[in-house]
Amino acid sequence: MAMELGIRAMDALVVIILARYLAPEGFGLLAFALSFAGLFGMLPGFGMGSLSVRNVAREPEQLSRFLLNGLIVKTALAALTLLIIWLASILFHHSGDRQAVVMLAGLLMVLETNVTFALSFFQAMQQINTMAFVNLGVRAGWVLSSLGVMFFHGGIGDLLGARIAVTLVGFLVTLGLVHFRLHRLSWKLEPGFAWHILRASLPFALIRVWMELYADVDMVMLSTMKGDVVTSLYAASQKVLRTFSFIPAGFSAANLPEMARSSKDSRAELVRMIARRCKYLMIISLGLAGVISLTSDWIISLLYGSAYAEASAVLRIAVWSLVFTFVNGTLISAIAAVDREREGSNRLFLGLFFSALSNLAVIPFYGQIGAAATTVMARAFVFYLELHLLRKALPDLKLPAVGRLIIATLAMVTVGWFCRPAGLVVTVIVPAIVYLGLLMVTRTIKREEWSTLMKLLRWQSTS
């Protein structure tokens, strides 16, 4: 979670620096090139990182085999991706300079997927600290290289070139760390195994594609049917919610290798692990959702100003999707851990279809409010599908304390509503105390869990 938060902070810093240096026209070109290249990002990635995390977590001796054959497959996919980007740039009649910037952005994107793939082996071996340090180091390099290019009055090509150089160094450092800290690499090409990696990665690639489309389909449909002003109100609320994505992302980074290992050794332990993590994520997300729904008007006013006042109603509804968004990431990791990723991909496609169909029905009549309600329903629908699939593989799986969590949340929101006339601080603190108090009184959070949390915090403070 710290890694995700640090990455977002440094990415935001780079955006601010470059937006001021390049001015709107240059910054717009850079943003376009990165977004255009990003449209093809799933091809060089292709879900191989997730496949490797699961399989190497179960059989660490396979690390060298997965890494080296995976890199060979990724090299072929990278060449194909760059060719497609070049042809697409010609198709869109980009000028020579614009095409050069787009190709540099494509090369950067390909290198980023290689860094992510190499780091996935540290995730598989549960060495998340190394993964975090390399990711943060690459981002820090981006910031410093951007400042260096600005000092020498370089242009967009220089900025992308410097970022490519930093990312390439990060990739080579990661390979060195894998070799010296995880597993002595032996270069052995196995065409049959490389083809197996490509074929087995397809469900993971589809999961990523469906998740990205599923996350953005409402925005696209709202823009098409209602225009930019209505879309901006919806986008403002979504930006607030995505601020908290580092929490489920942090859990997901730790989930897959541990769950994959447990699925091989002890299905009973896997069931307990899924139940515990879903409970903790529900506790966090319900608390956040309750507080944000109570203070949505203050949040929107503080962040965006009075022009976006109507976005507060959107946020008040859409924030409840956090609960399902948080838990769904863990359920997807569990689905992969029990080798049901193909069926999981199919269910995400059903979720995408449900979201598109629901938005088509409600946006013409209810605009951004309808889109917000649909977001909650679509996330809940995917949650139901994923949980149903997992229960087929793990019949003993149950999510504990759901009823007590709902009661605690209702009490928090009710108390908070009466606290609103007293101001923002009181509306945040008093409901939070009520919520945590009820969780302790009802033993939703048990004494040993508090003890574990305190030990973890003490360990982090001394590390």
Do 238 and 268 lie in one domain? The reply is yes
**End position of a domain, from candidates 400, 417, 452:** 400
Residue 377 clears pLDDT 70, i.e. is over it: yes
In a domain, 197, yes or no: no
In a domain, 214, yes or no: yes
CA nearest neighbour of 233 among 305, 325, 320: 305
Residue range 340-353, pLDDT digits in tens: 888 988 898 898 89
**End position of a domain, from candidates 130, 155, 189:** 189
Do 122 and 162 lie in one domain? The reply is yes
Do 407 and 366 lie in one domain? The reply is no
In a domain, 237, yes or no: yes
Least confident of 114-123, 192-201, 351-360, 448-457: 448-457
Do 15 and 84 lie in one domain? The reply is yes
In a domain, 354, yes or no: yes
pLDDT of 463 reads 46
- pTM of the predicted model as reported, rounded to 2 decimal places: 0.76
Instruction: Please provide the average confidence, as pLDDT, over all residues in the chain.
Output: 85
The letter for the amino acid at 298 is: W
**Cα distance from N-terminal residue to C-terminal residue, the chain:** 16
Is 396:276 a contact under the CB 8 Å cutoff? no
Q: Which of the two residues, 459 and 106, has the higher pLDDT score?
A: 106
Do 317 and 456 lie in one domain? The reply is no
pLDDT of 19 reads 67
Percent of the chain with pLDDT over 70: 93
Least confident of 17-21, 120-124, 155-159, 192-196: 17-21
Do 270 and 356 lie in one domain? The reply is yes
In a domain, 69, yes or no: yes
Mean pLDDT of 194-211: 83
In a domain, 116, yes or no: yes
Do 252 and 394 lie in one domain? The reply is yes
Residue 228 clears pLDDT 90, i.e. is over it: no
Do 293 and 343 lie in one domain? The reply is yes
Could you tell me where the DSSP H helices lie in 394-462?
402-419, 424-441, 447-462
Is 390:331 a contact under the CB 8 Å cutoff? yes
Mean pLDDT of 10-31: 72
Residue range 257-277, pLDDT digits in tens: 888 888 777 788 889 889 988
Nearest-angstrom CA–CA distance, 40 and 87: 12
Structure tokens at 150: 């600005």
In a domain, 195, yes or no: no
Nearest-angstrom CA–CA distance, 322 and 281: 10
pLDDT band at 457 (very low <50, low <70, confident <90, very high): low
pLDDT band at 59 (very low <50, low <70, confident <90, very high): confident
Nearest-angstrom CA–CA distance, 258 and 231: 40
Do 346 and 265 lie in one domain? The reply is yes
Least confident of 25-34, 81-90, 183-192: 25-34
Do 299 and 442 lie in one domain? The reply is no
Least confident of 236-245, 338-347, 399-408, 445-454: 445-454
pLDDT band at 461 (very low <50, low <70, confident <90, very high): very low
Residue 301 clears pLDDT 80, i.e. is over it: yes
Structure tokens at 5: 């938060």
Do 311 and 210 lie in one domain? The reply is yes
pLDDT band at 150 (very low <50, low <70, confident <90, very high): confident
Do 303 and 411 lie in one domain? The reply is no
Between vectors from CA 199 to CA 271 and to CA 251, what angle results, nearest 5°? Answer: 35
Phi and psi of 398, rounded to 5°?
Answer: -140, 145
Nearest-angstrom CA–CA distance, 391 and 372: 29
DSSP states along 408-425: HHHHHHHHHHHHGGG-HH
Q: Which residue has the tokens 């709202």?
A: 222
Q: Which residue has the tokens 């009075």?
A: 306
In a domain, 196, yes or no: no
Q: Which of the two residues, 92 and 439, has the higher pLDDT score?
A: 439
Is 330:274 a contact under the CB 8 Å cutoff? yes
Residue 455 clears pLDDT 70, i.e. is over it: no
pLDDT of 236 reads 80
Q: Is 227 exposed, middle or buried (0-12, 13-18, 19+ CB in 10 A)?
A: exposed
Rg of the chain over CA atoms, in angstroms? 23
pLDDT of 12 reads 66
Percent of the chain with pLDDT over 90: 32
Q: Which of the two residues, 227 and 19, has the higher pLDDT score?
A: 227
pLDDT of 458 reads 61
Nearest-angstrom CA–CA distance, 75 and 110: 9
Domain limits for position 168: 2-189
pLDDT band at 425 (very low <50, low <70, confident <90, very high): very high
DSSP states along 360-371: HHHHHHHHHHHH
**End position of a domain, from candidates 380, 400, 420:** 400
Residue 337 clears pLDDT 70, i.e. is over it: yes
Strand segments (E) across 170-246: none
Q: Which of the two residues, 228 and 60, has the higher pLDDT score?
A: 60
The letter for the amino acid at 379 is: R
Count how many domains the chain has: 3
Residue 151 clears pLDDT 50, i.e. is over it: yes
Nearest-angstrom CA–CA distance, 374 and 297: 21
Residue 460 clears pLDDT 50, i.e. is over it: no
Structure tokens at 133: 């340090």
Residue range 84-128, pLDDT digits in tens: 989 988 888 888 888 898 899 899 999 999 998 999 888 888 788
pLDDT band at 47 (very low <50, low <70, confident <90, very high): confident
